[in-house]
A and B are shown apart, each in its own frame.
Chain A
Amino acid sequence: MLRSKAFLTQKKNGKVVKVVKEHYLRDDIWCAAEGCIICGHTEKVLSASPQANTLLDGKPHYIVPDTNIDLMEHSAFKDVIVLQTVLEELRHLSLPIHTRLRKVIADIDRRFYVFSNEHHRETYIDKLKDESPNDRNDRARTEILLRIDFNGLMASFQHSNSGSHELPDRPAVAVVMISDDANNRAKAKEAKIQAFSVKEYVGTMVNYPELMDMVAEGGSSMDVDHKFTYEEVIRAFAYFLCNRLFRIYILLTLCTSHTHSWIKHLTPSQIAAGIKAGNLSQGKLNISMHNHLEVGYISYILLLCLYWIFAAEIKESMCGTIIGLVDGTEKQIYIIGRAHLNRAVQDDVVAVQILPKSEWRRSPSVAIVEEEEESVVEEDAKKREVDAGGIIATAGPTSMETDDLNDTDPPQPTGRVVGFVRRNWRPYVLYSCCLILFWLIFEIVLVIDGSFIYAEFRYCGYIDKSSIKTMLGSTVSQNVLFCAMDHRVPKISIRTRQAHILQDQRIVVVIDSWPKMSRHAIGHFVKALGPAGDKDTEMEVLLLEHDVPYQEFAPQVLKDLPAEGDQWTVKPEHLEGRADLRDLNICSIDPPACTDIDDALHVKLLPNGNYEVGVHIADVSYFVKPDTPMDIEAAHRGTTVYLVDKRIDMLPSLLGTTCSYCAIILCASDDTTQCLLLIKKPYSVTHNLYPSLLDLCSLRSNVDRLAFSCLWEMSKNAEIVNVDFKKSVIRSRHSFTYEEAQNRMDDMYILRHQRMERGGLTLASPEVRFKLENDSQDPVDVEMKELKETNALVEEFMLLANVSVAEKIYSKFPDSSMLRRHAAPPDSNFEALEKAISPLGLALKCGTSKALSDSLDMAILPHDPYFNKLLRIMATRCMMQAVYFCSGTLAFQDFRHYGLATDIYTHFTSPIRRYPDIVVHRLLAVCINPSERYGPELTDKIKMKELCDVLNHRHRMAQQAARSSVELYTNIFFKNKVEQEEGHVVRILKNGFIVLVRKYGIEGIVYASSTKGKPTSPGNSALIYNPKTNSLDSPATGVSIRLFDQVVVQITVDEDLEGGMRQKLKMFLVEPVVDKLSVLPLNKDLDASIDTRGKNVAADEDDAIRKGQRGTKKIRVA
Chain B
Amino acid sequence: MSRIFTINMSRLELLSPEGLRIDGRRANELRKLTAKTGVLSQADGSAYIEQGNTKCLAAVYGPREVRHKMNMLHDRAIINVEFNMAPFSTAERKKRSKNDKQVSKSVLGIITFEPVIKTTLYPRSQIDIYLQILQHDGGDLQACINAATLALIDAGLPMIDYVCACTAGSIDKEPIVDLNHVEESSDSPELTVAILPKTGKVNLLQMESRLHVDNFESVANLASEGCENIYQILDQVIRDRTKGLLKQMKQ
Contact = CB atoms under 8 A, between A and B. Distances in A.
Nearest to A626: B173
Contact of A549 (B1, B9, B23): B1
Interface in A625-674: 627, 632, 635-636, 638
A933 B16 contact: no
Contact of A96 (B6, B17, B32): B6
B180 interface: yes
A1113 interface: no
Interface in A58-113: 84, 91, 95-96, 99-100, 102, 105-106
B53 A22 contact: yes
Given A17-B92, A96-B2, A936 B210 contact: yes
A114 B18 CA distance: 7
Contacts of A12: 91
B17 A114 contact: yes
Given A547-B3, A636-B2, A936-B187, A119 B13 contact: no
A44 to B, nearest CB: 15
How many chain B residues sit at the interface, stated as a range, is 20 to 34
A632 B4 contact: yes
A931 B214 CA distance: 10
Contact of A23 (B17, B24, B210): B24
Given A95-B9, A635-B4, A5 B32 contact: yes
A954 B7 CA distance: 14
Interface in A913-946: 931, 933-936, 939-940, 943, 946
B6 A95 contact: yes
Contacts of B23: 21-24
Interface in B74-100: 91-92
B137 A933 contact: no
Nearest to B212: A933
A953 interface: yes
Contacts, number: 94
B25 interface: yes
A863 interface: no
Given A114-B18, A939-B210, A25 B24 contact: yes
A1057 interface: no
A99 B5 contact: yes
A24 B24 contact: yes
A627 B4 CA distance: 13
A549 B3 CA distance: 10
A116 B16 contact: yes
Contacts of B24: 23-26, 118-119
Contacts of B1: 96, 547, 549
A947 B7 contact: yes
A934 B173 CA distance: 11
A855 B89 CA distance: 70
B7 A116 contact: no
A100 B2 contact: yes
Interface in B165-213: 172-173, 180, 182, 187, 210, 212-213
Most buried by A among B24, B31, B210: B24
B62 interface: no
Contacts of B180: 21-22
A950 B32 CA distance: 42
B91 A18 contact: yes
B8 interface: yes
Contacts of A23: 23-24
Nearest to A635: B4
Given A114-B18, A119-B20, A636-B2, A3 B32 contact: yes
Contacts of A943: 7
Contacts of B226: none
Contact of B52 (A18, A19, A22): A22
A161 to B, nearest CB: 20
Contacts of B53: 20-22
Interface in A543-593: 547, 549
Nearest to B3: A950
Contacts of A19: 91
Given A19-B91, A22-B52, A934 B4 contact: no
Interface in A1-49: 3, 5, 12, 15, 17-26
Nearest to B22: A21
Nearest to A1: B29
B21 to A, nearest CB: 9
A934 B212 contact: yes
Nearest to A20: B53
Contact of B91 (A5, A17, A549, A950): A17
Contacts of B3: 96, 547, 636, 950, 953-954
A116 B4 contact: no
A855 to B, nearest CB: 40
A100 B4 CA distance: 12
B7 A950 contact: yes
B172 A24 contact: no
A24 B92 CA distance: 24
Contacts of A954: 3
Contacts of B7: 943, 946-947, 950
Nearest to A936: B187
Interface in A104-134: 105-106, 114, 116, 118-119
Nearest to B52: A22
A512 B13 CA distance: 28
Contacts of A15: 92
Contacts of B92: 15, 17
Nearest to A115: B18
B5 A96 contact: yes
A95 B16 contact: no
Interface in B1-56: 1-9, 13, 16-18, 20, 23-25, 29, 31-32, 52-53
A99 B6 CA distance: 9
A28 to B, nearest CB: 9
Interface string A510-550: 00000000000000000000000000000000000001010
Contact of A21 (B5, B6, B182): B182
B137 A636 contact: no
Given A119-B20, A940-B187, A95 B5 contact: yes
A53 B35 CA distance: 56
Contacts of A931: 213
Contacts of A5: 32
Contacts of B52: 22
Contacts of B18: 84, 114, 116
Contacts of A627: 172-173
B210 A22 contact: no
Contacts of B32: 3, 5, 22, 24
Contacts of B213: 931, 933
B187 A116 contact: no
Contact of B17 (A102, A638, A935): A102
B34 to A, nearest CB: 11
Most buried by B among A21, A940, A950: A21
A430 B97 CA distance: 49
28 contacts: A5-B32, A15-B92, A20-B91, A21-B53, A21-B180, A22-B31, A22-B53, A24-B29, A24-B32, A84-B16, A84-B18, A95-B8, A99-B5, A102-B17, A114-B16, A114-B18, A116-B16, A116-B20, A118-B24, A119-B24, A632-B4, A635-B4, A935-B173, A936-B187, A946-B7, A950-B3, A950-B7, A954-B3
Given A21-B23, A547-B3, 20 more contacts: A20-B53, A20-B91, A22-B23, A22-B31, A24-B23, A24-B24, A84-B16, A95-B8, A96-B6, A99-B5, A100-B2, A114-B17, A116-B20, A119-B24, A632-B4, A638-B4, A936-B187, A950-B6, A950-B7, A953-B3
Interface of A: 3, 5, 12, 15, 17-26, 84, 91, 95-96, 99-100, 102, 105-106, 114, 116, 118-119, 547, 549, 627, 632, 635-636, 638, 931, 933-936, 939-940, 943, 946-947, 950, 953-954
The 6 A-B pairs at the shortest CB distance, nearest first, are namely A24-B24, A96-B2, A119-B24, A636-B4, A99-B5, A17-B91
